[in-house]
Structure 1
Amino acid sequence: MYDAFHPGQIWLDTEGKRIHAHGGSVIYIDGTYYWYGENKEKTTGDNDIWTWGVRCYASKDLYNWEDKGLIIEPEPDKPESSLCPTSVMLDRPHIIYNRMTGEYVCWMKIMHKDGVQTETVMTADNILGPYEMVKEGLRPLGMSAGDFDLAVAPDGKAYYYFERVHSETICADLTDDYTGVTGYYSTHFPHLCPPDVREATAHFCRKGKHYLITSGTTDYFPNPSEAAVADTWHGPFTVLGNPHVGDSSNTSFHSQISCIFKVEEKKDLYIACADRWLPRLQHLEYEVYGRLFRKHFDSDHHSDNAMKEMATYLKGYSFRNTSIADYVWLPLRFDGDMVYIDWHNEWRIENYE
């Protein structure tokens, strides 16, 4: 039994097995938290398996998680399916509840081998499924859609924040059933190319403000996060900078945020949930990597030299074995509109109001 968070350390479920809920999110339902995400247990780097379905866990205290199994099963015998773990890359499932339809709606990013990125949408009457396929091959607004987050307003209106691949961030209104987009959207954070383009968008609301925390685009290699704030769902957003305090490696504490949620029983406690995709990299290697990454960002013009140096430095490192990826859960701290994330080797919910 756990009684605290230990960021970056191996996190086991109540059966003593590694938790596999990567790139996902946490949803609170009737007194229980559900944490779901990519099941990476078979993604060892020596096979073609990217994600073996979507797994979900349940907890009352956020420390100890019971495995509820695969809520979306893979379809290994259907190579044409967006759920086939060897034909496509299934990433970042996000689930929201539609109180008007009584359904849970799950969106998943699907990267095809030809580089095209689409969305798959499924629905269920229960958070744990079974989920039924609604849409495959969806190109929202006719765009190639990358990492994303879903959010629901108090009045039931839903929004979809996604990376228009290697271009900009889009905020699009969802249809009333949450399974598509209406056509109304806004654009944010335009950039010429990776690694500057923002991905891994995580949205949350606090005291009437809308926050987006994003990552640069460097595959599984971590980079500096960027926070932005706005007064409305569609912005405009003001960039606040890197929220990670004292991060000498400039790699968001060697992690990438997948979601941010508010702890229900606490007055003002928000938790940033991040994946540490490359736990075997040592701190010194992260430091070197961070310096090379900053070298690119400090340039007056875009250059591939720093990225090539990073690739050379990390040559031979197996970054496809995500079956051993860990988690970094940390509390958010606020000073006015600014949001900060401090490192804690160990921390407890009970220490917050």
Structure 2
Amino acid sequence: MKAANFVSPKHGSVIQITKAEAKRLEQYWAAQPKNKTIKSGGLWLDDSGRHINAHGGGIMRYGDTWYWFGEHKADTTSSAMVGVMCYASKDLVNWRNCGVALYVSDKKGSDIERGCVLERPKVIYNKVTGKFCMWFHLELKGKGYSAARYGVAVSDRPEGPYKFLYSQRANAGTYPIEFGDKELTVLDTMDINHFKEWWTPDWYEAIRQGLFLKRDLGSGQMSRDMTLYIDDDGKAYHIFSSEDNLTLHIAELTNDYLHHSGRYTRVAPGGQNEAPAIFKKDGTYWMITSGCTGWAPNEARMFSAPSIWGPWTQHPNPCRGPKSEITFGGQSTYILPVGEQLIFMADIWRPKHPSDARYIWLPIEFEDGKPVVRWQDEWELSVK
């Protein structure tokens, strides 16, 4: 009899059970009392009793249902061996496993070949085309993190299946909207061969002025950690870490949400920000990010702007409570609006056992007009 992987609710370890045993467990968990509270950092079980496997994810609401998309993590590698998972919920606490929304490919040489790096998938719905549009950070199999691409897939249904369309770098041959004659004149005088040594004051200033922007102009700008955002007017934006993770880019999407429009801006040049999560409150745009320390957690950063195009101002760490100096041991991935409530979502990475990575969900409060994320061991969420 065929076996299936199962995550032990007690230990969080992966064991093998038969299909018949898996079915009985699913029936058992379906009969259990429903969860009413969120407990960050613990095992979060779906309707079959398995730990939710949707890391680096984001959530989309369609109708009366919330859909959670995230990376399927294997037990021993962070490479994509399955693809993007989808879960559905009516209350944001109890989740049904909808299966794989986007499968990696077994075709050799495919952009999304099994073993590639596929991270931080986000899905948004286009009301005009009726399509569900998925974007994600993509690194080609066997190429490390050198490709620095974004990938795009599309579906007619929220849970998929999604059809992979293409991957590429961002805005080739295009300058940011804030680059006028003065900025372009400075770029013309720059020679990257004059900056062999990194991290010097001169190098930092050159980065700020666009040294790596110029380097990648022909091939397209790097696109790594990312999120998507739909503004009140229906315009959508792709926010991603670029220029060797030194600078964030905010790029406007075309009306079908499947390409860049060619308009983009740079945020915090040389600031080394990744893991962007964005929201708007009372006309002000807020963005929470992290520093660049690999899988290790670090102190969250926060920025605000009166327009999606800036200017963006940095603020102190919004986190409060135990381990706030390392974002409670996690890294930002998404900010979910639920009515007037805003939920900060983050991942606690476990690179030695990727599938056992955990989730942090905490309400965002405001103090003196600025967002605050305060640790709570347990809290109740109402979608009303």
Which AA in structure 2 matches 1:348? E
Secondary structure of the residue that 2:224 maps to in structure 1?
strand
Cα deviation for residue 163 of structure 1 reads 0.7
Match of 2:148 among 117, 120, 124: 117
Aligned ranges for residues 140-219 of structure 1 at < 5 Å? 140-141=171-172, 142-164=220-242, 165-191=244-270, 197-219=272-294
Match of 2:334 among 230, 239, 259: 259
Change (3 A) 1:150 1:249: closer
Contact persistence 1:92–1:109 (CA under 8 A) = yes
TM-score normalised by the chain length of structure 1: 0.81
Secondary structure of the residue that 1:55 maps to in structure 2?
strand
1:31 matched to 2:64:
yes
Contact persistence 1:229–1:337 (CA under 8 A) = no
- C-alpha separation between the residues in 2 aligned to 1:222 and 1:84? 29
Cα deviation for residue 177 of structure 1 reads 1.4
Q: Deviations over 1:28-60 (max 9, x none)?
A: 1111111111011xx222x58435211111111
Which AA in structure 2 matches 1:73? Y
- C-alpha separation between the residues in 2 aligned to 1:276 and 1:48? 14
- C-alpha separation between the residues in 1 aligned to 2:110 and 2:352? 22
Cα deviation for residue 273 of structure 1 reads 1.1
- C-alpha separation between the residues in 1 aligned to 2:46 and 2:256? 34
Q: Deviations over 1:159-186 (max 9, x none)?
A: 1111113220111111111111122111
Match of 2:124 among 89, 93, 96: 96
- C-alpha separation between the residues in 2 aligned to 1:234 and 1:110? 25
1:337 matched to 2:365:
no
Aligned ranges for residues 186-335 of structure 1 at < 5 Å? 186-191=265-270, 197-248=272-323, 250-264=325-339, 268-278=340-350, 319-335=351-367
- C-alpha separation between the residues in 2 aligned to 1:249 and 1:334? 16
Change (3 A) 1:329 1:51: farther
- C-alpha separation between the residues in 1 aligned to 2:164 and 2:79? 21
Cα deviation for residue 108 of structure 1 reads 1.3
What is the Cα-based RMSD across aligned positions, in Å?
A: 1.8
Match of 1:132 among 163, 182, 190: 163
Match of 2:114 in 1: 85
Match of 1:281 in 2: none
Match of 1:14 in 2: 47
- C-alpha separation between the residues in 2 aligned to 1:207 and 1:48? 38
Contact persistence 2:297–2:331 (CA under 8 A) = yes
Secondary structure of the residue that 1:261 maps to in structure 2?
strand
Which AA in structure 2 matches 1:36? F
Runs of 4+ deviating beyond 6 Å: none
Which AA in structure 1 matches 2:37? A
- C-alpha separation between the residues in 2 aligned to 1:50 and 1:216? 24
Cα deviation for residue 85 of structure 1 reads 2.8
How many pairs were matched up?
300
Over the matched positions of the two proteins, sequence identity in percent amounts to 34
Secondary structure of the residue that 1:251 maps to in structure 2?
helix
1:70 matched to 2:100:
yes
- C-alpha separation between the residues in 2 aligned to 1:133 and 1:54? 11
Please list every run of 5 or more consecutive structure 2 residues that lacks an aligned counterpart in the other structure. 1-33, 173-219
- C-alpha separation between the residues in 2 aligned to 1:51 and 1:218? 24
Q: Which has the larger radius of gyration?
A: 2
Which AA in structure 1 matches 2:297? P
Q: Deviations over 1:128-177 (max 9, x none)?
A: 12222222234444111111111112222111111113220111111111
- C-alpha separation between the residues in 2 aligned to 1:218 and 1:48? 16
- C-alpha separation between the residues in 2 aligned to 1:185 and 1:212? 16
- C-alpha separation between the residues in 2 aligned to 1:44 and 1:61? 29
